[in-house]
Chains A and B, each alone.
Chain A
Amino acid sequence: MEVLFLQLFNGISVSSILLLIALGLAITFGLMNVINMAHGELIMIGAYSTYVTQNIFMDLFPESMFGWYFVLAIPVSFLVAFVIGLILEFTLIRFLYGRPLDSLLATWGVALVLQQLARTIFGAPNVGVTSPSWLNGGLTVMDGVVFPYKRLFIIALVAITLFIMYLYIYRSNAGRRMRAVMQNRDMAACLGVSTRRVDALTFAIGSGIAGIAGCALTLLGPIGPSLGTYYIVDAFMVVVLGGVGKLVGTVFGALGIGVTNTVFEYWTTASLGKVLVFVCIVAFLQWRPKGLVAMRTRQLDS
Chain B
Amino acid sequence: MQLRTLTPQRIYILIGYAVAATALFCAPLYLNDFRLNLLAKFLAFAIVALGLDLIWGYTGILSLGHGVFFGLGAYAMAMYLKLEASGGRLPDFMEWSGLSSLPLFWKPFESFGFAVAAGLLIPALLALFLGYFTFRNRIKGVYFTILTQALVIITTTLFIGQQAFTGGTNGLTGFSTLFGTSLAGTGMKHTLYYVTAALLIVAFVLCRVIVKSRFGKVLRAVRDGENRARFIGYNPAVYQMVVFSISGALAGLAGMLFVLHVGIISPSMMGIVPSIEMVLWVAIGGRGTLVGAALGAILMNSAKSVFSENYPDAWLFFLGLLFVIVVVFLPKGLVGLFSRITFRKRKESEEHDGAAAISHPAVRAGNG
Known: A269-B161, A282-B133. A101 touches B320 (CB 8 A): no
Contact in complex: B328, A92 (CB < 8 Å)? yes
Cα of A85 to Cα of B151 in the assembled complex, Å: 29
Q: Which residues from A are CB-within-8-Å of B146?
A: 233, 236-237, 240
Cα of A104 to Cα of B366 in the assembled complex, Å: 11
Contact in complex: A270, B161 (CB < 8 Å)? yes
Chain B, range 111-137, C-beta contacts under 8 Å to A: 130, 133-134, 137
Q: Which of B153, B283, B326, B365 lies at the interface centre, i.e. has the most chain A CB atoms within 10 A of its CB?
A: B153
Cα of A101 to Cα of B160 in the assembled complex, Å: 29
Contact in complex: B365, A99 (CB < 8 Å)? yes
A109 at the interface (CB under 8 A from B): yes
Q: Which residues from B are CB-within-8-Å of A100?
A: 141-142, 366, 368
Q: Which of A96, A108, A116, A120 lies at the interface centre, i.e. has the most chain B CB atoms within 10 A of its CB?
A: A108
A110 at the interface (CB under 8 A from B): yes
User: B-side binding surface: helix, strand, loop or mixed?
Assistant: helix
B147 contact from A92, A272, A282, Cβ within 8 A: A282
Distance of B193 from chain A, by nearest CB (Å): 31
B89 at the interface (CB under 8 A from A): no
User: A-side binding surface: helix, strand, loop or mixed?
Assistant: helix
Cα of A99 to Cα of B158 in the assembled complex, Å: 33
Contact with B along A156-179 (1 / 0, CB 8 A): 000000000000000000000000
Contact in complex: A240, B147 (CB < 8 Å)? yes
Contact with A along B131-171 (1 / 0, CB 8 A): 00110011101110111011111100110111000000000
A101 contact from B139, B316, B367, Cβ within 8 A: B367
Contact in complex: B316, A112 (CB < 8 Å)? yes
Contact in complex: A271, B161 (CB < 8 Å)? yes
B316 contact from A29, A115, A283, Cβ within 8 A: A115
Contact in complex: A35, B137 (CB < 8 Å)? no
Contact in complex: B327, A106 (CB < 8 Å)? yes
Q: Chain B residue with minimal CB distance to A281?
A: B150
A278 at the interface (CB under 8 A from B): yes
A95 at the interface (CB under 8 A from B): yes
Contact in complex: A96, B327 (CB < 8 Å)? yes
Q: Which residues from B are CB-within-8-Å of A112?
A: 316-317, 319-320, 323
Contact in complex: A101, B145 (CB < 8 Å)? yes
Contact in complex: B141, A271 (CB < 8 Å)? no
A33 at the interface (CB under 8 A from B): yes
Known: A101-B62, A109-B324. A233 touches B365 (CB 8 A): no
Contact in complex: A104, B137 (CB < 8 Å)? no
Contact in complex: B149, A116 (CB < 8 Å)? no
Contact in complex: B272, A285 (CB < 8 Å)? no
A98 at the interface (CB under 8 A from B): yes
Cα of A82 to Cα of B319 in the assembled complex, Å: 25
B154 contact from A33, A275, A286, Cβ within 8 A: A275
Chain A, range 78-117, C-beta contacts under 8 Å to B: 92, 95-96, 98-102, 104-106, 108-113, 115-116
Known: A33-B368, A104-B145, A240-B146. A282 touches B324 (CB 8 A): no
Cα of A120 to Cα of B320 in the assembled complex, Å: 15
B321 at the interface (CB under 8 A from A): yes
Contact in complex: B142, A106 (CB < 8 Å)? no
Contact in complex: B320, A236 (CB < 8 Å)? no
Q: Chain B residue with minimal CB distance to A105?
A: B327
Cα of A112 to Cα of B323 in the assembled complex, Å: 9
B229 at the interface (CB under 8 A from A): no
Some 24 contacts from A to B, beta carbons below 8 A apart, are A29-B142, A100-B141, A104-B145, A106-B324, A109-B321, A109-B324, A111-B320, A112-B316, A112-B323, A113-B316, A113-B321, A116-B316, A233-B150, A233-B152, A233-B272, A234-B153, A240-B146, A240-B147, A270-B161, A271-B162, A274-B157, A282-B147, A283-B133, A289-B138
